[in-house]
A and B are shown apart, each in its own frame.
Chain A
Amino acid sequence: MLRRTSLAAAALLAAGALLLTACTGGSAPEPTSTPEPDADATAIIRLVLEPGNLDIRETAGAALDQILVDNIYQGLVSRTPEQEVVPALAEDWEISSDGLTYTFTLREGVTFHDGQELTPQDVVWSLQTRKDTPEWSDSSRLANVATIAAEGQEITLTLTEPDSSLLWNLTGRAGLVLKEGDTVVYQTNANGTGPFALDTWRQGDSITFARYDDYWGDAAQVAEVVFDYIPDNQAALNAALAGEVDAVTGFDANLKEQIEATGEFALVLGESTDKGTLAFNQAPGGPLADQRVRQAIRQAIDHDAFIESGQSGETLYGPIPSLDPGYEDLSDVAPYDPEASRALLAEAGVEDLTLELTIPSFYSTTIPQILVSDLNEVGITLEVSSVDFPTWLNDVYINKDYDLSFVLHTEARDFENWANPEYYFTYDNPEVQELYAQSLAATEETEAADLLAQAARIVSEDAAGDWLYNGASVVAVGTNITGMPSINVNERLNLAELAKSNG
């Protein structure tokens, strides 16, 4: 009996092996001749991080912006993946030469997903409520707005002082337009003006959007988009290989060959504003209060190693990534040089330094590994404390109880944190704060960017932090998919152009 079973098992395995060779032998991709998009298609996109709830008013986190902004909710203006400001609910806008008055022309014939009409009063109410409700995200970004008024389709904002970041801020949470007095339960539901409407949210699994047929602009090219939340990259690869998803975001470029071997996917690397930020607690009294020690740490780190290990991204030597205004190549400020690092430590009189790195547990273990070995090279012992994200928020963000901290800051144009001494970066340089204030007050874009660049250089020269890498958006796109964004998809995933063809 037993012998027969094992024989059968052996036969089964052999058959499996045969099947396997058969599969790998015959799956060469057929070249397709400009396939027609299928208007009834459902596109399935793998995402990593599921939002805790869908409350766009209040709940922070890129997981919400990524899918809800542009696709479901819109503001007067929006931004392209290349970070350009473009019209959305406003057809057009004008800024007075003193930078104190913004006039937007609201589109007509816009409806919300539940059929209600968008009125100029909805816009006024949305902006005013955002400004007046501190619990809502980014409410402080409207701090310079004095009045918001509507006359016909004209929406006018007046400012107390010029704010070169206002228009950009209006492309984000601060500018989203909701229906006044809406009864929608924002935590689990949504009602916006975008090309997609929320269909279902199966918590712990997926979110489905359906095309909104009465959309004011060009209709979405797919009938449905399903966001499939698969945190693990190996599981995502398996899902892709088994044909269960059409596109994979947040992918690991090290798995490029495996996913492309099927002929069904192509790996696309896009730029992003993801900054792998190593924060130094430089509060007075600690070992990192000394600029030389911080500089020594920066020069001890081989930044290229992070790019190689991830097979993606670029090095970054200052607080501003290349997609944002004010970027400048600052690699000359802290070149990799263990020798110089040791000299700086000696000059600062530091011996046998032991530091603790607090890092949320969902990041790759390669990051602390590289840091531990690089710092060990110059005589610094690094102890790694891997914690869950709420613990990081509590210990590092709120209590500033840390030596070194690593977090990937994904937000675009977030230089303000280096100009805020209260932020967990613990960096306090009045010169930088002044330059940032001047940049906000500038009425010319180039002038604002130039002032930011000056401030960013000082931040880097002060070794206020270190930037291990500027991450890339790693997206594997099915060969039958077009219009899938590839730039900064962790922050925004505008799917208006997404199309899927049969074949």
Chain B
Amino acid sequence: MIRYTLTRLALLLLGLLVASVLIFLTLRVLPGDIAQLIAGTNSTPEQVEGIRQRLGLNQPLVAQYLDWIAGVFRGDLGSSLLTGSSVTSELAEKAQVTVPLGIMSLTIALLFSLPFGVLSAMRRGRADGTALSVGAQTLAAVPVVWAGMMLVVVFAVWLGWLPAQGFPRAGWDEPAAALRSLLLPALTIGIVEGAMLMRFVRSATMQAVGQDYVRTAAAKGLTRNAALIRHGLPNVGLSVVTVLGLQVAGIIVGAVVIEQLFTLPGIGRMLVADVSARDLPKVQGELLVLTGFVLVVGFVVDLLHRFIDPRQREST
């Protein structure tokens, strides 16, 4: 187990290093630069050059990269060329929207996919089971944007129960208002992600039904459902933990889209704005943190998987 953990940790660090190079280089391929954006469409070349000089954009790429990475090792992710504020503080501020949004989305996705997924597997071949399965297929195919717009029309515009967009200006000082404003966005991501997760839970459950140990338990006198719940579900849980790692990445991507739609001041919206402002030092810091987060989640899930699954634990 310890050897496995160390190998896996080395892989994680290597992954981060490779990611940092990729992030840095792909951003440099983007045409246009921030100096030109600051100077605008009535600018002179001297004006642009002066701004470029001041922002240090004329340095060679290798020097820029090393500068950045050295900062990262010191715990300094960089800062915005536009506002001067540090990536860390910006992320911490926007995380107040995106992290609760992610947690709520994930909770909604799980609350809805676990029971319905198991149910649709157990009721396989019957009308309600099929209906659930078809429903999930349909929902999973729905674009997040469309789902969001429908929810807004019904709950914000028609019923007026929830805000159509935005986040309270007082933030979490008004917890009820903040929660209300995140509910529709979280529902949107949660339903679409949950529908995908539900199909996964369903197939994992069905697989478990066919396993020898479930059949043996049934042969020993348990009903099929009781056997499944007692012996099958822990294995389903195991598969779900694995797929949750992937789900986290899905939720981050979902947040980028949904924060645009609901104009939420979160990490996703900031990222899009920073890319279109070509505030590259800020973007690369943000992307590194997000990539790091996904990689760490994958790392934890892998360890967890080893730990939960006795078969894998013993093999190392």
Cα A390 to Cα B32 with chains together (Å): 5
Cα-based distance from A226 to B261 in the complex (angstroms): 20
Determine whether B157 belongs to the interface, using a CB cutoff of 8 Å to chain A.
Answer: yes
Question: With an 8 A cutoff between CB atoms, is A58 at the interface?
Answer: yes
B309 located at the interface, meaning its Cβ lies under 8 Å from any Cβ of chain A in the complex: no
Query: Are B157 and A242 interface neighbours, CB within 8 A?
Result: yes
A235 interface hit (Cβ, 8 Å) = yes
Known A-B contacts A134-B46, A135-B50, A238-B156; A203 and B83 likewise in contact (beta carbons under 8 Å) = yes
Given known A-B contacts A60-B42, A205-B167, A230-B165, A23 and B158 have beta carbons under 8 A apart: yes
A188 within 8 A of B: yes
Q: Are A16 and B158 in contact (CB under 8 A)?
A: yes
Bound together, the chains give a CA A349 to CA B158 distance in angstroms of 59
Interface residue tally on A, bucketed by range: 35 or more
Decide: B82 and A238 in contact? CB cutoff 8 A: no
Residues of B within 8 A of A244 (CB): 163-166
The CA-CA distance from A461 to B128 in the complex, in Å, is 72
Closest approach, in angstroms, between the C-beta of B285 and any C-beta of chain A? 15
* Cβ-defined contact, B36 with A398, below 8 A: yes
Question: Which of the residues A53, A202, A238, A394 comes within 8 Å of B83, measured between beta carbons?
Answer: A53
**Do B37 and A393 touch across chains, with their CB atoms under 8 A apart?**
yes
- Are B269's CB and A204's CB within 8 A? yes
Q: Which residues of A sit under 8 angstroms from B31, Cβ to Cβ?
A: 390-391, 394-395
CA distance A185 to B83 in the complex (A): 9
Judged by a CB distance under 8 angstroms, whether A429 is at the interface is no
Interface stretch, picked from B2-10, B61-69, B99-107, B272-280, is B272-280
By a CB distance below 8 angstroms, the chain A residues around B270 are 203-204
Give the residues from 236 to 276 in chain A that come closer than 8 angstroms, CB to CB, to chain B. Answer: 238-239, 241-242, 244
Partner of A390, one of B37, B90, B273: B37
Partner of B263, one of A19, A139, A235: A235
B85 CB within 8 Å of chain A: yes
Cβ-closest chain A residue relative to B269: A204
B263 and A397: CB pair below 8 A? Answer: no
The digit string for B76-97, where 1 denotes a CB below 8 A from any CB of A, is 0000001111000010001000
Q: Which one of A20, A205, A388 contacts B276 once the chains associate, using CB atoms below 8 Å?
A: A388
When the two chains form the complex, which single residue of A137, A229, A388, A393 contacts B36, counting CB atoms closer than 8 Å? A393
When chains A and B are docked, how far (Å) is the Cα of A262 from the Cα of B266?
A: 31
A180 within 8 A of B: no
CA distance A238 to B157 in the complex (A): 6
- Which residue of the partner chain B has the closest CB to A228? B166
Q: How many of chain B's residues have a CB under 8 angstroms from any CB in A? A: 55
A238–B164 touching, CB < 8 Å? yes
Q: Mark A379-396, 1 if CB is under 8 A from B, else 0.
A: 000000000111111110
Identify whether the interface residues of A are mostly helix, strand, loop, or mixed: mixed
**0/1 string, B139-175, CB within 8 A of A gives 1:** 0000000000100111011111001111101000000
Roughly how many angstroms separate A234 CA and B262 CA in the complex, as a whole number? Answer: 11
Q: Within 8 Å of chain A (Cβ to Cβ): is B26?
A: no
Cβ-defined partner of A20 (8 Å) among B41, B51, B158, B269: B158
A58 to B82, CA, bound (A): 11
Complexed CA–CA distance, A392 and B157 (Å): 37
Task: From B149, B152, B164, B277, give the contact of A52 (CB < 8 A).
Answer: B277
Report the nearest A residue to B263, measured CB to CB: A230
Q: Given A134-B46, A135-B47, A204-B94, A394 and B269 touching (CB < 8 A)?
A: no
A13 nearest CB neighbor, chain B only: B154
A282 nearest CB across to chain B (Å) = 19
Specify which of A52, A135, A229, A235 is in contact with B82 (CB 8 Å cutoff): A52
Which A residue sits closest to B41, measured CB to CB?
Answer: A397
B50–A134 contact, CB under 8 A? Answer: yes
- Does A165 have its Cβ within 8 Å of any Cβ on chain B? no
CA distance A53 to B276 in the complex (A): 13
CB of B40 closer than 8 Å to a CB of A = yes
- Are the CB atoms of A60 and B39 closer together than 8 Å? yes
A206 at the interface (CB under 8 A from B): yes
Question: Once the chains bind, are A188 and B85 in contact (CB under 8 Å)?
Answer: yes
Within 8 Å by CB of B38, from A60, A229, A239, A417, lies: A60
Q: Determine whether the beta carbon of A226 is less than 8 Å from that of B38.
A: no
A85 to B241, CA, bound (A): 67
Query: Is B33 located at the chain interface by the 8 A CB criterion?
Result: yes
Q: Are B36 and A187 in contact (CB under 8 A)?
A: no
Cross-interface CB contact of A239 among B37, B40, B166, cutoff 8 Å: B166
B44 within 8 A of A: yes
Asked if B158 and A138 sit within 8 Å, CB to CB, the answer is no
Distance in Å: Cβ of A440 to nearest Cβ of chain B: 16
Give the docked Cα–Cα distance between A392 and B94 (Å): 29
The residues of A that contact B207 with a CB separation of less than 8 Å are none
- Whether B245 is near chain A, meaning CB under 8 Å from some CB there, is no
Q: Which of B32, B263, B265 contacts A394 (CB 8 A)?
A: B32
- Which residue on A lies nearest to B273, using beta carbons? A204
Known: A19-B159, A185-B84, A188-B84. A61 touches B40 (CB 8 A): yes
| In the complex, per-residue mask of A22-63: 1 if CB is within 8 Å of any chain B CB, else 0 | 010000000000000000000000000010110000111100
Tell me which residues across on chain B come within 8 A of A58, comparing CB atoms.
38, 51
Given known A204-B269, A206-B169, A393-B32, contact A235–B261 (CB-CB < 8 A): yes
Sort A-B residue pairs by CB-CB distance and give the 10 closest, nearest first.
A60-B40, A390-B32, A205-B265, A238-B164, A394-B32, A204-B265, A135-B50, A394-B31, A53-B82, A391-B31
Q: List 23 A-B contacts (CB under 8 A).
A: A16-B159, A19-B159, A20-B159, A61-B40, A134-B44, A134-B50, A137-B42, A139-B47, A187-B84, A204-B94, A205-B167, A206-B166, A206-B169, A235-B164, A235-B165, A238-B152, A239-B166, A241-B164, A244-B165, A389-B276, A394-B32, A394-B36, A411-B42
Known interface pairs A205-B169, A244-B164; 6 further A-B residue pairs with C-beta atoms within 8 A, sorted by A's residue number: A52-B273, A134-B46, A138-B42, A204-B270, A235-B261, A242-B164
